[in-house]
Amino acid sequence: MAEDPRLTPADYLDRFFDELRLEVRSNPKLAARLVKALGGNVVFADEAKADVANPYALAASGSKSRFYSVFATMKPSQVKRVMRENNLATSVDMAGKNVSQLIDMMFERATSKVSERRSSVF
């Protein structure tokens, strides 16, 4: 952004927030982090859930129903991707399982890892 003597401080801020809005709309992970930092809870569209759903954070919240409500609407390929990306299962672990079984496995493993981390901190 080049300095322009005709722009007011409000104009510069408008430009900044316009760019931030564009980035938040195109980057669901950033959007989720910003909303969390602000203390909010946003429901993301189904196509973005697999990108932003964090099984560890959801398991740590202690709400099994919330965990299931987020992952139950995903396609099997999305659930598997979330599990692989979060090191909760291998392809062998997931073979032959339906979505419900995958979500059960993900919840158990995420909950276990969260409790391991908590116990190692204290």
pLDDT band of 97, cuts 50, 70, 90: very high
Q: pLDDT tens-digit profile of 7-49?
A: 888 989 999 999 999 988 888 778 878 887 888 776 666 555 6
Dihedral class, residue 111 (left if φ above 0, else alpha if ψ from -120 to 50, else beta) = alpha
Question: What would you measure as the largest C-alpha separation in the chain, in angstroms?
Answer: 65
Map residue 42 onto helix, strand or coil: coil
Asked if the model's pLDDT at residue 119 lies above 80, the reply is no
pTM of the model: 0.63
The pLDDT value given to residue 46 = 59
Q: What is the pLDDT of residues 40-94, one digit of tens each?
A: 776 666 555 666 678 888 888 878 888 888 888 888 998 999 999 999 999 999 9
- Residue 94: predicted pLDDT: 94
Give the pLDDT confidence score for residue 6 in this predicted structure.
84
Element (H, E) at 104: helix 99-121
Within 10 angstroms of residue 71's Cβ, the number of other Cβ atoms is 23
Supply the pLDDT for residue 50: 62
CB atoms within 10 A of CB 4: 9
